[in-house]
Chains A and B, each alone.
Chain A
Amino acid sequence: MGRIFALLILVVVTTSGCPFNLADVRFLPTEMQASAKSERTFALAKEVEISQLPCGYSRTLRNGTRWDLVGELPKGAIYRSKDQSLTLECSNVYEAYLVIEEDSLVGFYLPVEKGFVRVSDPIRLPIKK
């Protein structure tokens, strides 16, 4: 019985390599550009739950948080908040900013990795300008 258990552990370790480092946030490398938009800031009129994130995690954008324009991507404008720290998470954790196109969240920008993470379905945000 003990031998079978040991063999099972050996098989799992050798076949899976490092089992905890497999999942990671996939992003498209991209550089943030300066933005010419006139709408520089907005606040959320109510809480927004985002559940379609990599590795099954979810995040909540809090009601009343203010978001400031910091740049632009071809996919949309990039907003960051001083009221709320936002991250995406798999094996590692990445700070993330919102990417918004026509009042809908279309993805996230990872400022350290300089990458774009798309959300599968854009989420309409309750924006208060």
Chain B
Amino acid sequence: MERMLRLVICIGFSMLLSSCASGMKFTQANPSLAPPNPEFGRIFFYRPSVAGAAIRPDVMLNGEKVGEAISHGFFYVDRPAGNYEAMTSTEVSRKLSFVLEKGQTRFVRFKISLGFFVGHVYGELVDQSVGLEEIQECKYTGGNNQSNK
């Protein structure tokens, strides 16, 4: 029984570790905050908490997959100025709508809330000062920076 319990703990721990981001830290990657094209804006997506790490939903931006909401992970995309809707789905879909302007940098932080069977991962729009502080220890997970639209 004790051996079984140890095995379950080990599996749970390894699942938790493998669920977290493993790329280069934000401080090492040191990405530019502004997009190279002045007609575009840059959106950083990040998830600073390890809570619910096994849940890593796709991040859809105006219906197009741009990355995954992975614990301790971040990615960014450049998009033309306009209206955007970032959506994550677990047992329900949660949306964040916001405006992106030319040359603007926006930060979207993912959090998790309690769900019925599975936690709900949802995006919040945060100020640049807050985003920059919280994203420092997050690791690059690679986003789809090429829009298909």
Taking Cβ atoms with an 8 Å cutoff, the residues of A that contact B are 13, 18-21, 83-85, 87, 91-95, 110-113
Contact = CB atoms under 8 A, between A and B. Distances in A.
A21 B122 CA distance: 13
Contacts of B99: 95, 111-112
A95 B127 CA distance: 12
Given A21-B92, A112-B98, A112-B99, A95 B125 contact: yes
Contacts of B84: 112
B86 to A, nearest CB: 9
A19 B94 CA distance: 13
Contact of A93 (B83, B91, B93, B122): B122
A18 B85 CA distance: 21
Contacts, number: 51
Contacts of B97: 92-95, 110, 112-113
Given A20-B92, A85-B98, A93-B123, 4 more contacts: A93-B122, A94-B96, A112-B83, A112-B98
A64 to B, nearest CB: 13
Given A92-B96, A111-B99, A112-B97, A85 B115 contact: no
Given A92-B96, A93-B97, A20 B124 contact: no
A20 B116 contact: yes
Interface of B is mostly: strand
Nearest to A9: B116
Contacts of A85: 98, 106, 125-127
B102 interface: no
Interface residues of B, number: 22
B120 interface: yes
| Residue with the greatest number of chain A CB neighbours at <10 A, chosen from B95, B97, B120, B124 | B97
Nearest to B125: A85
Contacts of A13: 116
Nearest to B107: A85
A83 B93 CA distance: 29
A20 B127 CA distance: 27
Nearest to B127: A85
A6 B30 CA distance: 51
Nearest to B84: A112
A93 B116 contact: no
A113 B97 CA distance: 8
B88 to A, nearest CB: 11
Nearest to A112: B97
Contacts of A112: 83-85, 97-99
A87 to B, nearest CB: 5
22 contacts: A13-B116, A18-B92, A19-B116, A20-B92, A20-B120, A85-B106, A87-B124, A91-B92, A91-B94, A92-B96, A93-B94, A93-B95, A93-B97, A93-B123, A93-B124, A94-B96, A95-B99, A95-B125, A112-B83, A112-B84, A112-B85, A112-B99
